[in-house]
Amino acid sequence: MTIRLKLLDLQTLIEEAATFTSPDASLPISGVLFERSGDHLIAVSTDRFRLCVSRIDAEFEEGREHAPFVLASPELQSLRAAVKVARSALRTLHARKSAVVELSTVGTGLVVELPASSFTAATATSDDWPDWRALFQRYSYGNVRTHAKTNASYLADFRKPARDKANAMLIEFADVKDGPMRITIGDHFVGLLMPNNEASGFPLTIHDDLRLQ
């Protein structure tokens, strides 16, 4: 499987995914799921309290199956660093905007061909990931509840996927108690944020809704 995309787009996707990914390897999910969705490459990430999906434009090799793959948190951070170095090596804005990278998966490996270097990492299959799409479809929004409590720091991170000043943040409240807030930014990002438990004051976890614990 081969995917071609702009270097800056790849960096954007990685930065957004890293914001909502937990480095704790003991959690049921610690990494980012990458999938094809039409003409987009999407990244799905979670840190127990939030589950978020970002997308960017990409070109996919025709006639080949594009199986989802997972990068564990350490590999994601290594790729993040490699992309930053590759971007810094391009001295002009034009060079940065026009630079194209190629992602190839073979077996359990990922190869990323950067402008002047290459990056390799082990990947995992998506078998351990639950049906995250079903979680987005489980709740209805905007009919009953008008407020919910959450940690300000968790909500503040949702500013980061705003890619330009025109990207407003739409926050919707689930119609059922303890359901996650749905946060949409532009047409490239959607996330779920769990509210705080009213009795304890601590955040509920998205992993409970994903049937992971």
Residue 28 and residue 96 share a domain: yes
Instruction: Give the pLDDT score at 62.
Output: 81
Picking from 128, 143, 170, the residue at the C-terminal end of a domain is 128
Residue 162 and residue 59 share a domain: no
CA distances from 207 to 2, 53, 115, 137, 213 (A): 32, 16, 38, 16, 6
Residue 106 and residue 47 share a domain: yes
What is the residue-averaged pLDDT of the chain? 89
Residue 167 and residue 99 share a domain: no
What number is the average pLDDT over the span 96-123? 94
Residue 98 and residue 36 share a domain: yes
For residue 68, give its domain range. 2-128
Residue 148 and residue 174 share a domain: yes
Rg (C-alpha) for the chain, rounded Å, is: 18
Residue 163 and residue 124 share a domain: no
Domains of the chain: total: 2
If DSSP codes are grouped into helix, strand and coil, which group holds residue 125? Answer: coil
Residue 114 and residue 146 share a domain: no
Residue 74 and residue 8 share a domain: yes
Q: What is the pLDDT of residues 40-87, one digit of tens each?
A: 999 999 988 899 999 999 999 887 777 899 999 999 999 999 999 999
Rounded Cα distance between 7 and 173, Å, is 35
Residue 175 and residue 108 share a domain: no
Residue 109 and residue 157 share a domain: no
Residue 110 and residue 36 share a domain: yes
